[in-house]
Amino acid sequence: MASRRPALRLFAQCKQHIHFKSPPVPNANRTSRRALSSFPNSSTSSHPLAPLGRYLGWAAFGLVVTVPLAYKMAIDEPLKMDTPSLAELDQQIKAEKGVSEVSPMRLRMEKFVKEQQKAIVAALEELDGTKFRVDEWQRKEGGGGVTCCLQEGKVFEKAGVGVSVVYGTLPKPAILKMRANHKNIADENNIPESLEFFAAGLSLIVHPRNPMAPTVHLNYRYFETANPDGSSGAWWFGGGADLTPSYLFDEDAVQFHKALKDVCDKHDKDYYPRYKKWCDEYFFNKHRGESRGIGGIFFDDLDEAVTDRENLFAFIQDALKSFVPTYVPIVERRKDMAFTEEEKEWQQLRRGRYVEFNLVHDRGTAFGLNTPGARVESILMSMPLTASWKYMHEPEPKSREARLIEVLKNPKEWV
């Protein structure tokens, strides 16, 4: 369809320039009649060569008019060809060159999260013995994703591993808002009306059946704006991982936090204390006065002010790759432990608090639901299959449930 636009535009411009009025050509009819009289029976229009003469005349007239006009249009009014979108440019790059270490970062991030999605799904399927449902979807605005969901499994009541790749356009108000954290997104004195953007990430949520096994969440993402030629404008990484137990086992908390600290320390020893604190502050149910879980790490808007893009990408890769060897052993220890109906009910109440945070405070959920063309099922994949609320419920003093609440109200250092 796009290929027809220049032709349609040329036709429209021709209509503006050509006024089909018969020019006064002296003796034109006489000349035509004399030329045609040399043919036998030329006085009758039914002669087989009569139409040919008329067609040749019109063709000559067309050349006389359109050649100078086309030249004038080329000089005065050049055709404006449609500029390919960022999504179209990326499709062309992938088709012609594939994705390698020299490809744009957005394509490398997309490739990485899709590879990790397959690895994580395979590990969770092996642990549960149940296959994930896999849905591939496309956005008409550009991009798409793969949502993998397991429900009512043997070990996991619900688990979701989703990859999304989003192409879109930021309007001017959004650009102005983003300049608060990213001054290089646009010149203060020349804010464009819109900017193309790209976002890709992997989100994961696992809700085990057994209340002794903790829920886990992670998300690692990349965002960039694009210049008209497809090169990167402003860019940043975000993400993190956090653990949400219903019953607290200190060894699980220590193992989870130590794995994240090891990843952070490999790249910068300031990362873990900074991002652990950020996680405790972000995943906080303000209306309840307690954290959603026992934390982990969380960060956003990491750009060249922190370090260069390659080093940040390496940090993201190591953090995401650490998930399976950290979380799977924790679940293996807890999945077959005995529990009571009261302990299962406590898990449902804690899941209710989880839902409250996601729907009231989580910026990622709000951003997703307000993005044009959003796939709601993928965004709300993080919701547990079951949850409950009880009016004025309070745990028994000095119980395991009470100890968890104390830690959630006063986050502690685990490593």
DSSP letters of 193-212?
A: SEEEEEEEEEEEEEEESSTT
Distance CA 359, CA 110 (A): 27
User: H or E stretch including 157?
Assistant: strand 156-171
- Residue among 182, 207, 217, 257 flagged as catalytic: 217
Distance CA 235, CA 196 (A): 12
Could you tell me if 120 and 323 are in contact, meaning their C-beta atoms sit under 8 angstroms apart? yes
Q: Which two tokens stand for residue 105?
A: 């970062």
In the residue annotation, 361 being an active-site residue is answered as: no
Distance CA 96, CA 169 (A): 25
The residues facing 236 across adjacent strands are 223
3-state SS class at 344: helix
3-state SS class at 15: helix
CA-CA-CA-CA torsion sign (345, 364, 382, 124) = negative
Chain centroid to CA 270: 29
Amino acid identity, residue 308? D
β pairing state of 295-302 and 194-208 = unpaired
The catalytic residues are 217
